[in-house]
Amino acid sequence: MLHAVIMAGGSGTRFWPQSRHQVPKQLLRLAGERTMIQQTVDRGISWASGVRTWIVTNAAQAGRTSEQLPEVPKANILVEPAARNTAPCVGLAAVRLLVDDPDAIMFVMPADHVIQPVEAFTQAVEKACQLVEQSPERLVLFGVTPTFPSTGYGYIERGEMIGAGTPPVFSVASFREKPKVEVAEEYLRTGRYYWNCGIFCWKASTIMKLIQEHEPEIHGLLMKIADAYRRGDSEAVIAAEFPRMRSISIDYAVLERAAGVTVMEAPFQWDDVGSWLAVPRLNGVDTEGNTVDGPYCGVSTKNCIIRSSGNHLIATLGVSDLIIVHTPDATLVAHSSESERIKELLVKLQADGRTDYL
C-alpha cells in the first residue's frame, strides 16, 4: 500500500523569532490558515489516510507535532533521538513500515513546503506510485522546472524520456550541487535541469536494499531497530542505535550511487518557503507592498513584512523594506536585504548564553 512519510525534524532558523528549537518552521502558520505540517498532511489525506501517514521528527518537537495532527495516530510519530540527516530518517521510516506492510510504497516529502494546486500534486503521486508498482526497483524523484537561476538548490539533470504521458518522466543523467550563478544560468538555458525538491517515491524494501548496498553500517543499525519494532521494545533500541548512524543525506547515501533513478517533472507549483522573503510571495501584499499578519497600523510604510502575535499592535511610520516580527518574548527588526543573516543573530544569542530565546 501507499504510505505518506513526512520528514519533520528541521529547525527553520531563518524564521526566528517565531521559529524556535521546539517550534520550528513546519509548526508555524506561514502561508494560509493552517501550519506547514498540517497542510502537508492535508495534501496526502486523500491517498494516505491518517493510519498510513508517518511523521519522522525529534523529541523536542514530537509533542507539538502530535497536537497539531489529531488525525495521525501517536504511534505513527517516529522520534529520532539525534539529528542524522535524511538517510537514517528514511531508513527509520522504512523499517517501521515493513513491519506491518512488506509491500509498502513510501511517498517521502518534507513537512515545510508549499505545493499548489493539490489536484496536480495528487495526480503526480498516483503516477509515481504506478511507476513503482510497474517496476519495483525504480526510484522516482520529483524535479521542479526552474524559474530563475537559483544558487540555493541542488539540480537534477534529466536524461532520456521513459515512456510517454503527462507529466513526463526521464532517467537521471546526473546530480549537481548548488551552483554558482553563471552555472545556474547555463542550466536554465539548456532546459535539461530541474530543481531537486526532495520529494521521492519508492518501495520501502527497495530503499533498504540500496542502503544495505551503499551504507552497510547504517543498514546494520537499522536492522537492530527493525527487530526491536517486531518485539515491541523499539524505544530503548532506537535511543541506543540511531545516534550511532552516519549523518548523511539520502541523496549522497543512495540516490547519487544507484542505478535506475528516474525524475518526474513536477506538474505543480512548489515553494520551499526558505526565508521571511517567501511570505509576501505566498500571501500577497497590500497596495503599499506590505504583508501583514496581526494588529497593525502604518503610515508611509512600504514593502514591509509585519507579523505580530496576540493583540500586540505594531505601528510603523516612514519606513520601508523591513522585516518586523513580534513574539511574546522577542522582536525582530531587520532590513529585507539581510534576511539570510538572521542565523547570525542565533549564533550570537548562543555565544552570549541566551539560549532561552533559541
Specify whether the CB–CB gap between 121 and 268 falls below 8 A. yes
Distances (CA, A) of 189 to 150, 170, 194, 269, 304: 13, 19, 12, 20, 33
The type of residue at 251 is D
Task: Collapse the DSSP code of 283 into the 3-class scheme (helix H, G, I; strand E, B; otherwise coil) and give the result.
Answer: helix
pLDDT of residue 12: 67
Helices (H), 162-255: 181-190, 204-214, 216-231, 234-241, 250
First to last CA, the chain: 40
Domain limits, the chain: 2-271, 278-357
pLDDT of residue 32: 86
Task: Domain 2-271: give its CATH code.
Answer: 3.90.550.10
Residues in the chain: 358
Around Cβ 317, how many Cβ atoms within 10 Å?
9
pLDDT digits (tens, 9 = 90+) for 293-350: 999 999 999 999 999 988 999 999 999 999 999 999 999 999 999 999 999 999 999 9
Specify whether the CB–CB gap between 123 and 267 falls below 8 A. yes
pLDDT of residue 164: 75
Distance CA 302, CA 306 (A): 11
Helix 36-44 to helix 118-134 angle (10° resolution) is 60
pLDDT of residue 40: 97
pTM as predicted? 0.94
- Residues of the chain where predicted confidence (pLDDT) is lower than 50: none
Q: Which residue(s) pair with 255 in the sheet?
A: none
Task: Collapse the DSSP code of 209 into the 3-class scheme (helix H, G, I; strand E, B; otherwise coil) and give the result.
Answer: helix
pLDDT digits (tens, 9 = 90+) for 156-178: 999 999 977 889 999 999 999 99
Distance CA 272, CA 282 (A): 11
> What's the whole-number average pLDDT of the chain?
96
Q: What ranges make up the beta strands (E) of the chain?
A: 2-7, 53-58, 77-80, 105-110, 114-116, 139-144, 155-161, 169-176, 193-203, 261-265, 269-271, 291-293, 296-302, 305-307, 314-320, 322-326, 331-335
